[in-house]
Amino acid sequence: MLKINILKMLYKQSPMDFYTKNGDNQTIIKSINNTSLGYKFNKDFDEEEINRAWQEIKFHKRISTVLIFILFLALLYAVIFPKYTLFVNNYWYINAIIIIMVIIGFYHTITIICTRFFEKKLAKIFGEYEKISFPYTENIDEKYYKLFKSELLKVLVVIFVIILCCNFISPFKISRKMLDNKNYKQAIQLTTIGSKIFPIAQEWYSIRGYAKFQIKDYEGAIKDYDTAYKLGADGFNIMNFDNKIYIKYHIREYKSAIEDFDREIANADSSYERDSFLWDKAQFLYNIKRYEEALIIYTDLLDKAENDRVFLLKDRLYLERAEVYKKLNMDELAKQDLVNSGNWTGEGDTQNPIPQPVLLFDEM
């Protein structure tokens, strides 16, 4: 009983519940876009006229739906996707509100125009009418109720198929499998198509960046990893930044990599994020043999670790700074840092505690 009632409630808001009759030889047709608005005709519509009214409703409803869909695509590909940075910056919610207001404004404009054309067509076919509040009744036309259930079932089936496809035929999974099989050019082709269809999904660029690196398109890989990072600069997405740095390390674009570090440090949202980038920069400077600069950062991070930065691993920092002292031939200071590290037993190789940049893929 509950299921039937829910279906009938949905039916009353659907285009299929488009007319009602009263006992005074009057027929009321529901508006195509405003379910509370009705058009009262002083005549009792026969079955042929009811069917004609339904055809007009279906035609005009489809026109308004298509126009709204085209509008949405236009805004998506002309405004939202090309200006995606507006929705990942610090004021994204203001930009989102503006876009939503624009969409609502265009939506109402389209529905008003389509409703006006529908009203003129009704008057032309059935004569003059009076606008009233559409009266819902318990009398249901079984023909159109069955049509509603049939259309609802189709929608549910489509949604179910889409969910299945996303789970078992994910383009991301397919492109990853291509990488596993070393089909890099095919992976680039698939992810390029995907990035055109839905360009704000960072996975397209992460996967394509990895594939481009494998075919030695280093500049293309850097660009893709940079795009992926900007699309979601949080959480595990730091991997995209690290991969961009690795490629610049690999092709010896050290100056550009350091500029990337400095930009992220200057724009960090928190002290934790800033110190994380500083630590990564210190390791990078060590690996490109700029030991004096690395030493300054390590010393600064250790000072913070002694005070209010509980998330900085002090023992690990001492161990890494000891390696820097060794490279600078400051053996006594290196020994003291090794003592202060307390024989670090955390993750990492104590024989080579400062890792070299590496291209990451498994975490994607």
The last residue of a domain, from among 122, 137, 152: 137
Question: In this structure, is residue 162 part of a structural domain?
Answer: no
Going by DSSP bridges, is the β-strand pair 19-22/26-30 parallel, antiparallel, or unpaired? Answer: antiparallel
**How many domains is the chain built from?**
2
CA atoms of 135 and 22, how far apart (whole Å): 10
Condensed to tens digits (0 to 9), the pLDDT of residues 291-318 reads 999 999 999 999 888 776 666 788 889 9
Looking at the fold, whether 183 and 117 belong to one and the same domain comes out as no
Q: 152 in a domain, yes or no?
A: no
Q: Does residue 335 share a domain with residue 199?
A: yes
Same structural domain, 183 and 123:
no
- The reply to whether 202 falls in a domain is yes
What are residue 130's DSSP bridge partners? Answer: 40
State whether 99 and 196 are in the same domain. Answer: no
171 Rama sector, left if φ>0, alpha if ψ -120 to 50, beta otherwise: alpha
pLDDT on residue 1: 43
Q: Both 193 and 299 in a single domain?
A: yes
Q: What is the pLDDT of residue 183?
A: 93
Neighbours of 305 (CB within 10 A): 19
CA distance 155 to 157: 5
Number of residues written out for the chain: 364
* Strands laid side by side in the 37-41 sheet: 19-22, 26-30, 37-41, 130-133
Show the low-confidence residues of the chain (pLDDT under 70).
Answer: 1-4, 84-90, 166, 233-236, 308-311, 343-353, 361-364
Q: Provide the CATH number for the domain around residue 336.
A: 1.25.40.10
| Residues in CB range of 278: below 8 A, 6 or more apart | 265, 297, 300, 301
Question: What pLDDT does 71 receive?
Answer: 87
Neighbours of 111 (CB within 10 A): 18
Is there a single domain that holds both residue 56 and residue 194? no
Residue 184 belongs to some domain of the structure: yes
Query: Which tokens go with 196?
Result: 């055109």
Per-residue pLDDT tens over the stretch 223-274: 999 999 988 755 557 889 999 999 999 999 999 999 999 999 998 888 888 9
* Residue 246 burial by Cβ neighbours in a 10 Å radius (0-12, 13-18, 19+): buried
- pLDDT at position 214 is 94
Any alpha helices (H) in the chain, and if so which ranges?
Answer: 2-12, 47-75, 92-126, 142-168, 171-180, 184-197, 202-214, 218-231, 238-250, 254-266, 271-287, 291-306, 314-327, 331-340
Question: Measured between alpha carbons, how far is residue 305 from residues 210, 298, 300 in Å?
Answer: 35, 10, 9
Residue 62 lies in a domain: yes
Does this model's pTM top 0.85? My answer is no
Domain span at residue 26 reads 14-137
